[in-house]
Amino acid sequence: MCGIAGIIGQKANKENILQVLETQKHRGPDFMDYYCDDNKAVVGHNRLSIIDLSSNANQPFISECKNYVLVFNGEIYNYLELKNELQFKYTFKTQSDTEVLLNSYIEWGEACLNKCNGMFSFSIWNKKNNTLFAARDRFGVKPFYFFFDNQNFIFASEINTLFAAGVPKITNDKVWLNYFSEGSYGSPEETFWKNIHQLSGGHFLTLKNNSLEIKKWYFFEERIHKLQNHFESNEEEYITNLLLKTVNLRFRADVPIGFNLSGGLDSSLLLALIDQQDIDKSSLEAFTFITNDGRYDELFWVKSMLENRPYKLNICALNPQEVPDLALKIAKNQSEPYGGIPTIAYAKIFQAASQKGVKVLLDGQGSDEAWAGYDYYTNNSQNIIQGVTSSPFRTNVLDIEFYKKYTKTIYEKPFKDDLLNLQYRDLFQTKIPRALRFNDRISMLHGTELREPFLDYELVEYVFSRPESFKIKEGVQKWMLRKIANKFLKKDIILAPKRPLQTPQREWLSHDLKDWVTDEIEILKNNNWFNKKELQTELDLFFKGNNQSSFHIWQWINASQLLK
Gyration radius of the chain's alpha carbons: 23
Q: Does domain 236-382+418-488 have CATH number 3.40.50.620?
A: yes
Q: How confident is the model at residue 383 (pLDDT cuts 50, 70, 90)?
A: low
pLDDT value of residue 553: 97
Burial track 534-548 (b if 16+ CB lie within 10 A, e otherwise): ebbebbeebbeeebe
Task: Please tell me what DSSP assigns to residue 506.
Answer: H
Whether 14 has a pLDDT exceeding 90, the answer reads yes
Question: Is 2 annotated as catalytic?
Answer: yes
**Burial group, residue 380, by CB count within 10 angstroms (0-12, 13-18, 19+):** exposed
Nearest C-alpha neighbor of 333 from the set 170, 521, 158, 166: 158
Contact yes or no for 167/99 (Cβ under 8 A): no
Specify the pTM: 0.95
Q: Tell me what pLDDT residue 245 has.
A: 97
Binding-site residue set for L-glutamine: 97
Q: Whole-angstrom distance between the N-terminal and C-terminal Cα of the chain?
A: 31
Considering 2, 36, 116, 316, which one is annotated as catalytic?
2
For 143-158, the pLDDT digits (tens) are 999 999 989 999 999 9
Q: 496: which DSSP letter?
A: P
Q: Give DSSP secondary structure letters for 450-490.
A: EE-GGG-HHHHHHHHHS-HHHHEETTEESHHHHHHHHHHS-
- pLDDT of 340 > 60? The answer is yes
**How far apart (Å, rounded) are the C-alpha atoms in residues 155 and 147?**
6
CATH architecture of 3-171+187-218: 4-Layer Sandwich (3.60)
Give the per-residue pLDDT at 492: 54
pLDDT value at 134 more than 80 = yes
State how far the Cα of 451 lies from the Cα of 110, in Å rounded to an integer.
Answer: 24
Q: Is the dihedral of CA 476, 482, 484, 488 positive or negative?
A: negative
* Nearby residues of 418 by Cβ (< 8 Å), 6 or more positions away: none
**184-219 residue pLDDT tens:** 999 999 999 999 999 999 999 999 999 999 999 999
Segments making up each domain of the chain, as ranges: 3-171+187-218, 236-382+418-488
Question: For the residues of 156-203, what is the DSSP string, one character each?
Answer: ESSHHHHHHTT----B-HHHHHHHHHH-----TT--SBTT-EEPPTTE
| CA–CA dist 471, 23 (Å, integer) | 44
Q: 232-289, pLDDT tens digit by residue?
A: 999 999 999 999 999 999 999 999 999 999 988 999 999 999 999 999 888 899 999 9
CA dihedral 551, 554, 556, 562 (to 10 degrees): -140
Mean residue pLDDT of the chain comes to 94
Which pLDDT does position 476 carry in this prediction?
87
CA–CA separation, 85 and 561 (whole Å): 50
C-alpha separations of 510 from 393, 503, 505 in Å: 17, 13, 8
pLDDT of 44 reads: 98
